[in-house]
Each structure stands twice: as C-alpha cells, then as structure tokens.
C-alpha cells in the first residue's frame, strides 16, 4: 500500500514539473514591415509592438554603424516565429529568433554579391518569399534558400 502511494506521488510530481506547450501556434506577420532606422539605430513597428536596435546588423552588412538613419529595413516574421531582415543594397537576408531581451542570429543567407535593389518579403504558408525587382523570387526558410527557389 505504501509503495503504491509512493509511486502515485512520484507520478504526480513528475507530471507537475512537465512543461506546458500550446500548439499549434502561428507567429506570422501577414505582411512585411518597412521601418526606417532612427538616429539611435532602432527600428520600431507599433502594429506588432516590436522594436530592436539594429546597429550591430548594419555594421555586419555595411561596416558602418554611424550613418544608421539613412537605412530602411524590411522585416517579416514567419509562422514559426523567426524574423527575416534585409534592406536595399544588402547582400544577405538575416534570420533571427527571439531570445531573452533581444534577437539572436540563426542564419545569414547570402542572396546577391552586388546587393539587393528593391527587396520585399511575402508571407507564404511554408516559407518566406523574397522578391527583388526583376529577379526571380526566392523561397526562404530559416536555413536558407529552398530547392526550386534558387536563381
């Protein structure tokens, strides 16, 4: 009898310590945001209650963290919650995930050596579509360019 009570208590203790996971969840932004960078290096999107300092990203892409307010970035969030960020003249699309108090780089996807001319993101169910002027649209996920979506 004492053994059965002990086992039940252990099971209840283990069940009480398990993590609650709510699925499915859709974190996607239906359309991209195109916020300008302010003098402090911050972009802000009031619609999604989102702001982040992008000086480090601008330095990584342009080697300049002083003249930050001349940039406008393109930002979209996919269904899994990853943030995709790029801008005009960027060679890459940067994919970030949420971390405690910030965004952490997951991947840097090389797109074009001479940089993007007119980038725009579209939300698709299984991927993010990157359109750049007259170039063929690319299908992206957090790991890179999807097969069939290469130039």
With respect to residue 100, please indicate whether it lies within any of the assigned structural domains: yes
Does residue 69 form part of some domain? yes
> Is residue 151's pLDDT more than 50?
no
Q: How confident is the model at residue 14 (pLDDT cuts 50, 70, 90)?
A: low
Question: Is residue 109 included in any domain, yes or no?
Answer: yes
Q: Is residue 12 domain-resident?
A: no
Q: Could you report the per-residue pLDDT of 122-146, keeping only the tens digit for each?
A: 999 899 999 999 999 999 999 999 9
Q: Which domain holds residue 141?
A: 22-145
In a domain, 40, yes or no: yes
Domain membership flag for residue 119: yes
Helix (H) or strand (E) holding 136: none
Looking at residue 9, its pLDDT comes to: 59
Long-range contacts of 2-10 (CB under 8 A, 24+ apart): none
* pTM of the model as a whole: 0.83
Residue 112 lies in a domain: yes
CA distances from 82 to 10, 21, 39, 73, 98 (A): 38, 18, 26, 16, 7
Contact 88, 118 (CB under 8 A): yes
Work out how many domains the chain is built from and give that number: 1
Does 1 map to a domain? no
The upper half-sphere exposure of residue 88, i.e. CA atoms within 13 Å in the direction of its Cβ, equals: 10
Q: What pLDDT is recorded for position 7?
A: 67
What would the pLDDT profile of 85-120 be if each residue is shown by its tens digit? 999 999 999 999 999 999 999 999 999 999 999 999
Whether 80 and 66 have beta carbons less than 8 Å apart is answered as: no
């Amino acid at each position: 009898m004492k053994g059965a009570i002990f086992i039940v208590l252990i099971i209840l203790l283990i069940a009480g310590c398990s993590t609650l996971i709510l699925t499915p969840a859709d974190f996607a932004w239906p359309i991209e945001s195109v916020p300008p960078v302010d003098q402090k290096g911050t972009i802000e999107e009031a619609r999604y209650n989102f702001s982040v300092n992008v000086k480090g990203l601008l330095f990584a892409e342009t080697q300049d963290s002083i003249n930050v307010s001349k940039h406008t970035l393109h930002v979209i969030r996919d269904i899994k919650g990853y943030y995709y960020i790029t801008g005009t003249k960027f060679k890459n699309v940067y994919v970030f995930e949420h971390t405690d108090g910030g965004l952490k780089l997951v991947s840097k996807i090389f797109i074009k050596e001479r940089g993007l001319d007119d980038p725009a993101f579209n939300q698709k169910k299984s991927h993010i579509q990157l359109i750049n002027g007259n170039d063929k649209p690319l299908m992206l996920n957090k790991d890179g360019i999807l097969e069939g979506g290469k130039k």
